Amino acid sequence: MPISRFVEYEEAPPEVRAVYDDIMATRGIDWVNNFWKAIAQHPPTLKRTWESLKEVMADGALDPMVKEMIFVAVSATNGCDYCINSHTAAARKAGMTDAMLQELLAVVAMANETNAMAAAYQVELDERLREAARRA
Amino acid sequence: MPISRFVEYEEAPPEVRAVYDDIMATRGIDWVNNFWKAIAQHPPTLKRTWESLKEVMADGALDPMVKEMIFVAVSATNGCDYCINSHTAAARKAGMTDAMLQELLAVVAMANETNAMAAAYQVELDERLREAARRA
Amino acid sequence: MPISRFVEYEEAPPEVRAVYDDIMATRGIDWVNNFWKAIAQHPPTLKRTWESLKEVMADGALDPMVKEMIFVAVSATNGCDYCINSHTAAARKAGMTDAMLQELLAVVAMANETNAMAAAYQVELDERLREAARRA
Amino acid sequence: MPISRFVEYEEAPPEVRAVYDDIMATRGIDWVNNFWKAIAQHPPTLKRTWESLKEVMADGALDPMVKEMIFVAVSATNGCDYCINSHTAAARKAGMTDAMLQELLAVVAMANETNAMAAAYQVELDERLREAARRA
Amino acid sequence: MPISRFVEYEEAPPEVRAVYDDIMATRGIDWVNNFWKAIAQHPPTLKRTWESLKEVMADGALDPMVKEMIFVAVSATNGCDYCINSHTAAARKAGMTDAMLQELLAVVAMANETNAMAAAYQVELDERLREAARRA
Amino acid sequence: MPISRFVEYEEAPPEVRAVYDDIMATRGIDWVNNFWKAIAQHPPTLKRTWESLKEVMADGALDPMVKEMIFVAVSATNGCDYCINSHTAAARKAGMTDAMLQELLAVVAMANETNAMAAAYQVELDERLREAARRA
């Protein structure tokens, strides 16, 4: 620890197994990916993180594919390889095509460029945009 | 400069006016927001950035509202206030509701949390996820 | 360079050896880790960095274990693998237990989440908090 | 939204009031700071975030003052003004002195410097450090 | 995808070959590095990115070596290994010596340190500096 | 604290005055900017930071104007307003023209874009580039 030491199902205490079971049931798969097995070293972190993620990523006003693409966008911005891959996989499973992924990555790259420009030029916010951002 | 000094339409050289005209025509509005007026201090940057943005944000495999939401996700991760506001405004104009925005921000926050966890625990990528990320 | 090319003790010029000797003496060990051997390619950087680090990490109002944990927190936030490992090792040597590390990482993850939220929602600072932050 | 629009207690729906009541009771104060009033625009985010934070920041293997200092370290690294202030205030309330804060910020600055160096020099991790980081 | 799957010259469609040919001609070399072969999965991204980069990095008010060093500075700050290496290689080709690289990296590290300090201390900008930054 | 509380010359203890005197003498000016007055709350941090900065920014293999431009590049990438302004002012004083600044910011923006792309596509480093980066 913190270098990934995985808690395998066989050796896991009951509260960890319960989360693993819920992950597999929710996703309809029969295995648990390394992220969960790594943070399972601290069972309360495992439980809290899984429950939060399950709630946040559930179908709602946005569909799950869009949510997974947003996750990829943040992960690419932060340079998190694990997260880019795991959420790209999830987005594909939810229907993202190659063409969608390519456009997603183009937007992410462009956003990182214009974010740097706005910071560098220290652009003052237009009152009209402030109002438009606030209003539904 | 770099503190925002704006190039107003009236004082702008022809190559800058041409970009301003295209921005207004493309968006169907009669004004140009500060970001463009700030980077217009360097006309080649203005032209290149606008043309890239126009191409990237055009309707394609992803619809423009989703693209604007991805822009908000990156901007919130980078803490760029100008960009959060300008792209939230654009996403609303493209149809994003309050409920969608709230879910978007919840995903962004969660992604920043799990990105930090994956980095901290240095989780090794599962071979299965690598394959699944690669395949359409 | 910049890919790590290490300056080994045997080949090191006297000003580099002097720093290496001080590192080993200060830490009570008989080897120098790669970070120092990499930056020793530029002896003034080696000397300045080591002297600053030694001063900053010395026992003071905060004990060394807490300082090492703060170093881990920043390194995880920046996604610096080398630094996460080297300072986790140092924190353990200074007394950090597994339970402490797990709580540390949970705080780091949570902080990255709420930082993103505060940025996304652009929350205005409460006057009371501003005052409370300022006062001892 | 997302620019902070606050949900005041008087206008809050019952599920938001319940969280506000718990925040005030847990902290022994009679007001709620803007962060919570901003994210209360999305009641499930408010509830989930508060419950996670309460669990993560509770007294455990690390004392609350240290946890608040870790929060300040991450927030300074991410440049989140709101979070720097709110958690500095909380750390002070938990006993952090000026001298402790100054050392904390010196460590944060130094960590950001050496993180950048390790990235720039792409230093390969020492096997000995990897082992030492892993072992309690 | 997005894990690097490379589009080799032999299998590339004509619009990709045209960009590859221009990259090789512009740089006076007979091969194309992986970055371009990876983003060539999306030909419009390849074309737009190459044309932007060629324009931005061309000799102008700043000489190409300085531009490549600026690229290294940003890449080290973002922790992008690929970019650190590719632009260090380009800067060397343009004349950067070891001594220059070492000073560059020292500045990058120092800047990351003082950036964190300015954020942590939330230093208010001096009116005199604001004026001086604005004026040529 | 940490919100900027400035240590003015008149009230400063001797070790702080000595640093202020050296800053003014080195720069040939008769005032001290807020950054130093803020960190002077912790005299050892003031002294260590000033001495490091003076050493790093001194004329060497790179001229001071280039070093200040590198500082601006890192500061824009990190979104540090204070630092963007103070180092833009310093770069101008050292000879940077408007045209140079505009090209500098274009490179910074482009670098942030391609850094995000390389992360998103997880491009594997070319062996040839690794070799070329290493060799002077």
Domain that holds residue A96: 62-136
Average pLDDT of the residues in D22-37: 97
Mean pLDDT of chain B: 95
Kindly determine whether residue D105 and residue F2, on different chains, have CB atoms separated by under 8 Å. Answer: yes
By the 10 Å C-beta count (0-12 exposed, 13-18 middle, 19+ buried), E119 is classed as: buried
Whether residues F42 and F109 share a domain: the answer is: no
Q: Between the CA of residue D79 and those of B125, C67, C123, F6, what are the distances in Å?
A: 30, 20, 14, 20
DSSP string, D68-89: HHHHHHHHHHHT-HHHHHHHHH
Partner residue opposite A112 with nearest CB, options F105, F113, F121? F113
Kindly determine whether residue D120 and residue E81, on different chains, have CB atoms separated by under 8 Å. Answer: no
Domain endpoint, select from D58, D76, D105: D58
pLDDT above 90 coverage of chain C, percent:
94
Q: What is the ipTM of this complex?
A: 0.95
- Per residue of chain F (136 residues), give pLDDT as tens: 555 689 999 999 999 999 999 999 999 999 999 999 999 999 999 999 999 999 999 999 999 999 999 999 999 999 999 999 999 999 999 999 999 999 999 999 999 999 999 999 999 999 999 999 987 6
Residues of C in contact with B108 (CB under 8 A): 116, 120
Q: What is the CATH number of the domain that holds F67?
A: 1.20.1290.10
In this prediction, residue D108 has a pLDDT band, given cuts at 50, 70 and 90, of: very high
Whether residues B23 and B77 share a domain: the answer is: no
Kindly determine whether residue C45 and residue E101, on different chains, have CB atoms separated by under 8 Å. Answer: no
Helix (H) or strand (E) holding B31: none
How far, in Å, CA of F69 to CA of F87, rounded? 7
Q: How many domains does chain E have?
A: 2
Whether residues B67 and B129 share a domain: the answer is: yes
Partner residue opposite E42 with nearest CB, options A84, A88, A106? A106
Whether residues F30 and F85 share a domain: the answer is: no
Average pLDDT of the residues in C10-21: 98
Q: Between the CA of residue A69 and those of A63, A92, B71, C36, F15, what are the distances in Å?
A: 10, 9, 11, 40, 54
Residues of E in contact with A101 (CB under 8 A): 1-2
Whether residues E90 and E40 share a domain: the answer is: no
Q: Report the 3 state secondary structure along F18-54.
A: HHHHHHHHHHCCCCCCHHHHHHCCCHHHHHHHHHHHH
Choose from C3, C125, C126, C128 for mutation: most chain F CBs within 10 A: C3
Sign, CA dihedral E14-E20-E23-E25, equals: negative
Report which of F129, D2, F127, B14 is spatially closest to residue A134, judged by C-alpha positions.
D2
Report which of A129, E59, F71, E80 is spatially closest to residue B27, judged by C-alpha positions.
A129
Whether residues B78 and B54 share a domain: the answer is: no
Residues of B in contact with A1 (CB under 8 A): 121
pTM for this entry: 0.96
Domain endpoint, select from D12, D28, D58: D58
Using left for φ > 0, alpha for ψ between -120 and 50, and beta otherwise, residue F32 falls in beta
Question: CA of A52, closest CA in chain D: separation in Å?
Answer: 7
DSSP string, F59-110: SSSS-HHHHHHHHHHHHHHHT-HHHHHHHHHHHHHTT--HHHHHHHHHHHHH
Whether residues C69 and C108 share a domain: the answer is: yes
Report which of D87, B108, B102 is spatially closest to residue A78, judged by C-alpha positions.
B108
By the 10 Å C-beta count (0-12 exposed, 13-18 middle, 19+ buried), E27 is classed as: middle
Map tokens 């702080």 to a residue.
F16
Secondary structure of residue E78 in the 3-state scheme: helix
Partner residue opposite C115 with nearest CB, options D2, D78, D124? D78
Choose from C113, C121, C124, C125 for mutation: most chain B CBs within 10 A: C113
Whether residues F46 and F111 share a domain: the answer is: no
Whether residues A51 and A69 share a domain: the answer is: no
Q: B59-96 burial string, b = 16+ CB within 10 Å, else e?
A: ebebebbbbbbbbbbbbbbbbbbbbbbbbbbbbbeeeb
| Residue D44 clears pLDDT 60, i.e. is over it | yes
Touching D (3+ Cβ pairs <8 A), the chains are A, B, C, E, F
Q: Between the CA of residue C59 and those of A60, C52, C63, C92, D100, what are the distances in Å?
A: 51, 14, 5, 16, 11
Question: CA of E31, closest CA in chain B: separation in Å?
Answer: 25
Whether residues A85 and A52 share a domain: the answer is: no
How far, in Å, CA of C3 to CA of A2, rounded? 25
Whether residues A74 and A136 share a domain: the answer is: yes
pLDDT per position as a tens digit, B103-122? 999 999 999 999 999 999 99
Domain endpoint, select from E11, E40, E58: E58
Kindly determine whether residue C41 and residue E98, on different chains, have CB atoms separated by under 8 Å. Answer: yes
| Residue B1 clears pLDDT 80, i.e. is over it | no
